[in-house]
Structure 1
Amino acid sequence: MKMQSFKLRETGLNRFFGPLEARIMEVLWSAEAEMTIKDVQLKLDEDKVMNFNTVMTVMNRLVDKGILSKNAESRSSKYKPVVTRDAFMETQSKELTYDLIEQFGPLAVTHMVDALDKVDPELLDQLEQHIKLLKKDR
C-alpha cells in the first residue's frame, strides 16, 4: 500500500498520517490483539478526552485506505492493522526511495550516499557490501 502523501516537515508516522491517525495506528500496532473502537478510545483517553465518534470516523477512514482491517463481531467490530509497523515503514521507505530516484535520478543517489556518511558511516559500509552482492549476482 502506497500512501498518497508524505509530509516532509513532519516526523515519524505523522509524515504519512494525520496526528490522530498516527496515534490510533500506534495504539493498534502496540496491541497484542484486535481492538474495538471503544478499546482504542480508552487507550487514547489516557492522554486526553477523545470523542468516540471521532475515533470511529478516523478508524473507518483507515479501513477505507487499506491500512486497517475490520472484523464484524456481534454488536461491535474489531480492528487490526493490515501489516506490522515494521512492514509498513519498509514499504513506505522503499516507495519514497523509488519516487526520489525516478524524479531526481543520480542526484538523489548522490545525496543519499552523502547523507549515509554524515548520519552513520557504518551505513556506508553496509551499502558497499550490498552493492557488491548485487553485482556478484548479475
Structure 2
Amino acid sequence: MKMQNFKYEGSGLNRFFGPLEARIMEILWDKAQEMTIKDVQQKLDNDNDNKANNFNTVMTVMNRLVDKGILQKKAIVRSSRYKPVVTRDEFMEAQSKELTLDLIEEFGSLAVTHMVDALDKVDPGLLDQLEQKIKEMKKDR
C-alpha cells in the first residue's frame, strides 16, 4: 500500500495522514483490536477535552481510510468494526521502502550519496551496518 501524499514538513504518521487520520490510526494501532466508530470517537473525546470530533466526521475519515486500503471494515448487525490492515511497524516499513525506492528511481546515485552522508551524521554505527549489508549482498551474488 503506497500512500499518495507524503508531507516533508510533518513528522511520524503526520507525514502520511492528515491530523485526524493519524490520530485515528494511532488509536486503532494502540488498541490492537477491532473498534467501532463510536469507540474511536469516544477515545478521541477522552484524549481531547474540546470534543470537537463528531460522529459523522469520524465515520467519514474512517471510511476514507478503508477506501485508501489502510483500514478493514467488517459489518456486524447495526454497526461496523474497523481494524488496521497492517501493524504500525509494517506500515512504517512499507512506506520507508516505497520512499527510498522512489528517491533512488528519481535521483539515482545522488540520493544514495545523500543517504550515506546522512547515516554518518545521524548515527555512525549505521554506516557499519550498511557496510555489512553491502558485503552480504555482494557475497550472495
Q: Report the TM-score range of the alignment, normalised by the length of the smaller protein.
A: over 0.9
**Percent of aligned positions with the same letter in both sequences?**
78
Q: Residue 34 of structure 2 aligns to a residue in which SS?
A: coil
Deviation of the 1:73 alpha carbon: 0.6
Query: Partner amino acid for 2:24?
Result: I
Separation in 2 of the partners of 1:33 and 1:23?
16
Residue in 1 that maps onto 2:35? 35
Q: Residue 18 of structure 1 aligns to which amino acid in structure 2? A: G
Q: Which amino acid aligns with 1:3?
A: M
3-state SS of the aligned residue for 2:91? helix
1:123 aligned residue: 126
Does 2:44 match 1:44? yes
- Report how far residue 33 of structure 1 moved: 1.2
Q: Compute the displacement of 1:32 (Å).
A: 2.8
Match of 2:101 among 98, 103, 107: 98
State the SS of the aligned residue for 1:54.
helix
Aligned: 1:78 with 2:81: yes
RMSD: 0.6
Deviation at residue 21 of structure 1 after TM alignment: 0.2
What is the identity, as a one-letter code, of the residue corresponding to 2:105?
E
The code of the aligned residue for 1:80 comes to: K
Aligned partner letter, 2:67: D
Whole-angstrom distance in 2 between the partners of 1:43 and 1:125: 43
Q: Which amino acid aligns with 1:6?
A: F
Aligned position for 1:18 = 18
Moved over 4 A (4+): none
Equivalent AA in structure 2 for residue 130 of structure 1? K
Query: Runs of 5+ in structure 2 lacking a partner?
Result: none
The equivalent residue for 1:107 is 110
Distance 1:109 1:23 in 2: 33
In structure 1, distance between residues paired with 2:19 and 2:122: 27
- The residue identity in structure 2 corresponding to 1:13 is L
Distance in 2, Cα, partners of 1:26 & 1:43? 11
- CA distance in 1 between counterparts of 2:18 and 2:36 reads 20
